[in-house]
Amino acid sequence: MLPTAAVSETLSVDEFVSALRALTNEDWIRVGEVARRYARYCSTSGDDLQSEAIGRTLDGKRNCPYDVDPVAFLILTMKSIAGELRKAGFRTIGMDDVKLKTKDGNSVAFDPADERLDPESTLAENQAAARLRTAILGLFNDDEVARDLADLMMVELDGEELRALLDLEPKAFASKRRLVRRRIDKAFPDGWKP
């Protein structure tokens, strides 16, 4: 049997556009609402973040696998870009255009592998994190369980770990997490300003 040509594992740009054109209103609501939430992480707008995710896919910089739901793909892409933008915001100011001279006198761009924050930025970030925590926890002075959940949501734990730590039944956990989200959404509709 002759070998067949390898089938592309990702959607072409045209296929991706067709897939998005086929999305329902409910799908677009999810995309837009998630964009708005991730945008809070990197101080941009939901529209810009969504547009960037779609744009990079149309440019071929990102590729939607055949077996992945386009909405899920867009959400993951937006999450990734938001993380990128936030990390870019951590870079030390003023170092972007620095050139180094090599031993033979050639100039090369400064491209540090070490992306750790400088001490001043670390201090600023720690202070901002403390202010965020105070602001968030202050929303739940009337509900100790919600307050504990909100506190734990700012630590690297997944849903099941959170539920187990708080010793809540799944339904009670879902209800409490919903309450926390809605209260935070209402208090900070446009994100946090450090």
Partner 1 sequence: MNKDKMDPLGFLIENLVQDFLDMTDAEIAIEIRERGEDPVAVAAKARAVFERAVTAKRKASLLQARNAVDTDAAHPPTVIAIDGATARARLQRLLRRFPEAATKLTLAARNGVGLSDSDVLGLLTNFHDLGIDDENDT
Residues of this chain that bind partner 1 (CB under 8 A) = 17, 20, 23, 25-26, 28-35, 37-38, 40-41, 47, 50-51, 54-55, 58-59, 75, 79, 82-83, 86-87, 125-126, 129, 132-133, 136, 150, 153-157, 159, 162, 174, 177-178, 180-182, 184-186, 192
What type of residue sits at position 150? A
Count of all residues that appear for the chain in the document: 194
User: In terms of CB distance, is 129 or 172 closer to partner 1?
Assistant: 129
- Render 73-91 in DSSP notation, one character per residue: HHHHHHHHHHHHHHHHHHS
Give the shortest CB-82-to-partner 1 separation in angstroms: 7
Calculate the dihedral angle through the C-alpha atoms of 141, 145, 150, 152, rounding to the nearest 10 degrees: 130
User: In terms of CB distance, is 98 or 181 closer to partner 1?
Assistant: 181
Give the shortest CB-142-to-partner 1 separation in angstroms: 20
Give the shortest CB-57-to-partner 1 separation in angstroms: 9
189 vs 187: CA distance, rounded Å:
6
User: In terms of CB distance, is 64 or 82 closer to partner 1?
Assistant: 82
Give the shortest CB-128-to-partner 1 separation in angstroms: 8
Residue with tokens 């630590």: 155
User: In terms of CB distance, is 28 or 66 closer to partner 1?
Assistant: 28
93 vs 106: CA distance, rounded Å:
24
User: In terms of CB distance, is 102 or 141 closer to partner 1?
Assistant: 141
33 vs 40: CA distance, rounded Å:
11
Give the shortest CB-4-to-partner 1 separation in angstroms: 31
144 vs 149: CA distance, rounded Å:
9
136 vs 130: CA distance, rounded Å:
10
